[in-house]
């Protein structure tokens, strides 16, 4: 199977061709927003960190910023820094240039002499880059160039029995065709980690999966927190999820059944092809942020209650098996999987029907969140989101 | 017969009702290509589980082909399985590690 994408000199092909306006720190975010609003073809990131931080948080911020810049959906990067942030714009530019041959330019607000002067230069640079990006022709790319992030959020009882298994089936079909998928949200492996570990391609990966859960529980315990105290939530229980095990067993279904070939840390780039795991927070915005920084070019997102979330760099395709949610939130929902709940289709059938839907997104069809221009981001830190 | 429950794995001893099922109503689910039925002995809420066999106290509830935890009381076939009669057993991560077994 093939799709029309933008070939890159390094790594996978893009399914979009954005000029990314990237702040080095929170203080550059608003200028980036204004620049992106002046240039068609540009997208911006709102960044909440980058200053007054401990080394581990700086390392994570840098991993996310460089990861965004290297994401295949990005044609080129315009960086806006302040001048006194932890990692200056010139240094971030060098780091990105060491990882990719994409065009990268950078400006500092203090050096340029304020917002207006910075914006003028950055808009001119972004406009030139967008003009070049528009000249790049799409080429036929093999499906192996697809790295699909798999996420769930705003879950209800339909998620674990219908939309997650359907997306798991999609993941299996794509992996069998040579594509790669990433499932994340490690707190939602707990109670099902032994099942997930059975999918490990090697004994080392098996133990890595168990270790991720052990470490996460220990991290929470060290802060006097018990992940089972609030899980499942009263709403989950009322909705039919009796134990954390049941919730997790439903969550991990979205990753399918193929052998797990690699377990990544947050925002790390895969080195293998196939079904991949990433150790991230269960917080959906943060998890998507990390998978996009890891190089996903598309994200599929299962929901029960409905959510509008989207990402600036990567299209996020929202699917639900709750018929009421689809009808009430059609502005935000891309695919209705409720035939599984109605009993008229199996999750395997609906999973197979998702293949051409993902292909359409790869070929350029806008998702609902993308059409709105949504740009949610949450960068995890050493204290970790839950 | 219209399907009103989903079986996630042939090994399961519960199915999830995808409509509200009042006591006395027939629950219909697919097990592979076969259509199976069981009569509800209690009201089963939307998206909740019904036992397909008698499950002993301390027995395991199986969904997705895996244990959801252990029962705190006998759950007869046709009865409602919920957080009131099922509890999570904490993980023993070290024993799950292959490196600890060798």
- Is B83 in CB contact (< 8 Å) with chain A? yes
* Residue A191 and residue A286 share a domain: yes
* Residue A163 and residue A123 share a domain: no
Q: With beta carbons under 8 A apart, name residues in chain A contacting B97.
A: 206-207, 210-211
Minimum Cα–Cα distance from B15: chain A residue:
A161
Whole-number pLDDT of residue B21? 97
Partners of residue B28 on adjacent β-strands: B37
Q: With beta carbons under 8 A apart, name residues in chain B contacting A207.
A: 97-99
Whole-number pLDDT of residue A125? 98
* Residue A72 and residue A98 share a domain: yes
Q: How confident is the model at residue A375 (pLDDT cuts 50, 70, 90)?
A: very high
Choose the final residue of a domain: A114, A135, A156.
Answer: A135
Query: Per-residue pLDDT for B26 more than 90?
Result: yes
DSSP string, A149-161: EEEE-S--HHIII
- Is B75 in CB contact (< 8 Å) with chain A? no
**Could you report the per-residue pLDDT of A34-58, keeping only the tens digit for each?**
999 999 999 999 998 898 889 999 9
**Could you report the per-residue pLDDT of B32-91, keeping only the tens digit for each?**
899 999 999 999 999 999 999 999 999 999 999 999 999 999 999 999 999 999 998 889
CB contact under 8 A, B47 and A237: no
- Percentage of chain A modeled with pLDDT above 70: 100
**Could you report the per-residue pLDDT of A71-130, keeping only the tens digit for each?**
999 999 999 999 999 999 999 999 999 999 999 999 999 999 999 999 999 999 999 999
Overall number of domains in chain A: 2
Domain that holds residue A227: 143-372
| Total count of residues recorded for chain B | 102
Residue B61 and residue B86 in contact, taking contact as beta carbons nearer than 8 Å: yes
Residue A107 counted as domain residue = yes
**A249 vs B3, B18, B66: nearest CB:** B66
* Residue A234 and residue A119 share a domain: no
Mean pLDDT of chain A: 95
* Residue A97 and residue A189 share a domain: no
Residue A7 counted as domain residue = no
Name the DSSP class of B91: P
Q: With beta carbons under 8 A apart, name residues in chain B contacting A246.
A: 63, 68-69
Whole-number pLDDT of residue A154? 86
**A161 vs B16, B45, B67: nearest CB:** B16
- Percentage of chain A modeled with pLDDT above 90: 86
Contacting residues for A288 by C-beta, under 8 A, at least 6 apart: A149, A151, A299, A301, A309, A311, A314, A316, A376
Residue A10 counted as domain residue = no
**Could you report the per-residue pLDDT of A14-36, keeping only the tens digit for each?**
999 999 999 999 999 999 999 99
**A197 vs B64, B89, B96: nearest CB:** B96
Whole-number pLDDT of residue B45? 94
Residue A38 counted as domain residue = yes
CB contact under 8 A, A195 and B99: no
* Residue A245 and residue A100 share a domain: no
Rounded to 10 deg, the angle between the A347-362 and A164-177 helix axes is 60
- Is B32 in CB contact (< 8 Å) with chain A? no
CB contact under 8 A, B99 and A203: yes
Average pLDDT over residues B12-30: 96
Whole-number pLDDT of residue A124? 98
**A207 vs B64, B68, B99: nearest CB:** B99
**Could you report the per-residue pLDDT of A275-333, keeping only the tens digit for each?**
999 999 989 999 999 999 999 999 999 999 899 999 999 999 999 999 999 999 999 99
The enclosing domain of A124 has a CATH number of 3.40.1400.10
Query: Per-residue pLDDT for A142 more than 90?
Result: yes
Structure-block tokens of residue A45: 């990131």
* Residue A151 and residue A48 share a domain: no
* Residue A131 and residue A154 share a domain: no
* Residue A283 and residue A193 share a domain: yes
CB contact under 8 A, A242 and B86: yes
* Residue A354 and residue A226 share a domain: yes
- Is B34 in CB contact (< 8 Å) with chain A? no
* Residue A188 and residue A327 share a domain: yes
Cis peptide before A232 (omega within 30 of 0): yes
- If residue A213 lies in a helix (H) or strand (E), which one and from where to where? helix A203-222
Choose the final residue of a domain: A135, A159, A176.
Answer: A135
For residues A60 and A65, what is the distance between their CA atoms, to the nearest angstrom? Answer: 9
Choose the final residue of a domain: A135, A162, A181.
Answer: A135
Minimum Cα–Cα distance from B90: chain A residue:
A191
Residue A50 counted as domain residue = yes
Q: How confident is the model at residue B102 (pLDDT cuts 50, 70, 90)?
A: low
**B38 to chain A, closest Cα gap in Å:** 17
Q: With beta carbons under 8 A apart, name residues in chain A contacting B18.
A: 161, 341-343
**B67 vs A207, A245, A343: nearest CB:** A245
Environment class of B50 (CB within 10 Å of its CB; exposed 0-12, middle 13-18, buried 19+):
buried
Query: Per-residue pLDDT for A228 more than 80?
Result: no
For domain B5-101, the CATH class is: mainly beta
Please state, in angstroms and as integers, the Cα–Cα distance from residue A332 to each residue in A190, A287, A309, A323, A329, following that order. 30, 19, 8, 13, 6
Domain positions in chain B are 5-101
Q: How confident is the model at residue A340 (pLDDT cuts 50, 70, 90)?
A: very high
* Residue A131 and residue A157 share a domain: no
Whole-number pLDDT of residue B11? 97
């Amino acid at each position: 199977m093939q799709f029309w994408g933008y070939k890159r000199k390094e790594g996978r092909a893009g399914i979009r061709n954005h000029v990314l306006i990237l702040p080095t720190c929170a203080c550059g975010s608003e200028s980036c927003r204004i620049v992106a609003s002046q240039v068609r073809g540009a997208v911006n990131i709102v960044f909440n960190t980058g200053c007054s931080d401990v080394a581990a948080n700086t390392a994570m911020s840098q991993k996310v910023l460089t990861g965004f810049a290297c994401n295949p959906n990005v044609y080129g990067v315009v960086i806006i820094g302040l001048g006194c942030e932890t990692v200056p714009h010139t240094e971030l530019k060098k780091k990105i240039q060491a990882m990719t041959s994409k065009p990268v330019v950078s400006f500092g607000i203090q050096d340029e002499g304020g917002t207006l002067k910075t914006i003028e230069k950055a808009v001119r640079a972004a406009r030139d880059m967008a003009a070049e990006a528009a000249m790049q022709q799409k080429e036929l790319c093999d499906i192996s160039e697809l790295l699909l992030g798999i996420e769930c959020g705003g879950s209800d009882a339909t998620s674990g029995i219908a939309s997650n298994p359907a997306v798991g089936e999609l993941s299996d079909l794509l992996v069998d065709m040579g594509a790669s998928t990433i499932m994340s949200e490690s707190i939602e492996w707990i109670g099902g980690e032994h099942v997930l570990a059975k999918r490990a391609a090697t004994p080392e990966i098996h133990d890595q999966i168990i270790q991720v859960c052990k470490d996460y529980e220990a991290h929470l315990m060290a802060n006097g927190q018990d992940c089972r105290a609030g899980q499942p939530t009263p709403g989950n229980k009322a909705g039919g999820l009796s134990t954390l095990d049941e919730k997790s067993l439903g969550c991990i279904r979205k990753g399918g059944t193929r052998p797990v070939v690699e377990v990544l840390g947050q925002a790390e780039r895969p080195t293998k092809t196939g079904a991949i795991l990433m150790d991230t927070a269960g917080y959906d915005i943060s998890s998507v942020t990390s998978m996009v920084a890891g190089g996903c070019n598309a994200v599929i997102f299962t929901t029960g209650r409905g959510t509008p979330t989207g990402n600036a760099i990567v299209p996020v395709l929202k699917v639900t098996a709750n018929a009421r949610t689809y009808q009430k939130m059609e502005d935000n929902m891309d695919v209705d999987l409720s035939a599984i709940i109605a009993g008229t289709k199996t999750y395997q059938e609906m999973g197979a029907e998702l293949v051409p839907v993902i292909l359409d997104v790869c070929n350029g069809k806008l998702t609902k969140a993308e059409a709105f221009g949504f740009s949610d981001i949450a960068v995890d830190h050493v204290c970790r989101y839950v | 017969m219209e399907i009103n429950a989903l079986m996630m794995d042939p090994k399961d001893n519960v199915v999830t009702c995808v409509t509200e099922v009042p006591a006395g109503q027939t629950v219909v689910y697919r097990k592979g290509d076969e259509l199976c039925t069981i009569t509800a002995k209690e009201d089963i809420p939307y998206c909740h589980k019904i036992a397909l066999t008698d499950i002993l106290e301390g027995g395991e509830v199986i969904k997705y082909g895996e244990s959801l935890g252990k029962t705190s009381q006998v759950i007869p076939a046709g009865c409602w399985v919920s957080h009131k009669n099922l509890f999570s057993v904490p993980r023993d991560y070290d024993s799950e590690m292959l490196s600890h077994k060798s």
